[in-house]
Structures are given as structure tokens and as C-alpha cells.
Amino acid sequence: MTLYIDGSQHILGRLGSIVAKKLLNGEEVVIVNAEKILIVGEKDTILEKYKTRVNLTAKGNPHRGPKFPRMADRIVRRAIRGMLPFKRRRGREALRRLKVFIGIPNELKEKSFKKIPEAILKGEKDFMLVEELSKHLGK
């Protein structure tokens, strides 16, 4: 069974933890509108955190990594990967069941998308769209 999620107005961390549990239980998950997912916090703090990550280079060979994504869909995918036991077979197989898209692809237009009420932003807090973060990082 495949779960289709519209990512707009969802908080990245909460959405990621719920999706990670579903992936570990064997479900396939498709997230659309990844650029409209929110990161809660002050914009300056978020930008500083991600810029230091992206600009990190390995001491030995900088081409080997660590490499952090700059595109919106890959930022979301990497956040969810961090919530999975990726170094084990079970976590890698779970990550293969995840698909993240910027916008809504043509082949998914007729699908009905769910919203996860626990992950939707309630109240007024400082936040930043993943799209804005992606633009600041250079993609």
C-alpha cells in the first residue's frame, strides 16, 4: 500500500518521524510539494546550521564527503534518512520505499493526497520554507 502525502504546511521534523515509522513498517511513502515543507526556528539559526553542514569538507579527500544536499526534495529525503537506521540493511531498504518530489508530477495528479494533522503547523511560530533554504544554499 502506498501513502501519498502533500507536504505543504507540514513541519519537517514531525513529518519525518511519522514517515520514518511508516517506512520501517513496510509501507511505501510518496511526498509531493517538498519545497513547501516548513522548518521551525529562527531563519538566521537555520541558515547558519545548514551552511556549516554544506561547507564542511573532509580532512582527507574532500570529494569523498560528507556531502549534504541543497535541493528541496533531497533536503527532505536526507532529514528522513537521519531518522532511519541507515547503516543497517533494514534502514536502507526502508529508504528505498520513499519518494520525494518538488511540486506534483504529472503521473500523480489524479491521486488523492493526505495531510498528517500531527505534523501541520499550529499557531504562530518562526519558520522557514525548505524552498527558501534551498535558494540560500545555492540550488
Q: Which pLDDT value is given to residue 58?
A: 67
pLDDT over 90 (residue 124): no
pLDDT value at 119 more than 90? yes
Q: What is the pLDDT of residues 4-24, one digit of tens each?
A: 999 999 999 999 999 999 999
Distance CA 90, CA 46 (A): 30
- The mean pLDDT of 99-121, rounded to a whole number, is 96
Listed in sequence order, the residues at least 6 apart from 31 whose beta carbon sits closer than 8 Å to its beta carbon are 5, 7, 15, 19, 76, 98, 99, 100, 101
CATH number for the region 2-137 comes to: 3.90.1180.10
Say whether the peptide bond before residue 66 is cis (omega within 30 degrees of 0).
Answer: yes
pLDDT tens by residue, 45-76? 999 999 988 887 667 787 877 788 999 999 99
pLDDT band at 108 (very low <50, low <70, confident <90, very high): very high
Sequence spans of domains, the chain:
2-137
Mean pLDDT across the stretch 28-32?
A: 98
What integer pLDDT is reported at residue 107 of this predicted model? 95
Beta-strand ranges (E) seen in the chain are 2-6, 28-32, 38-40, 98-100, 127-129
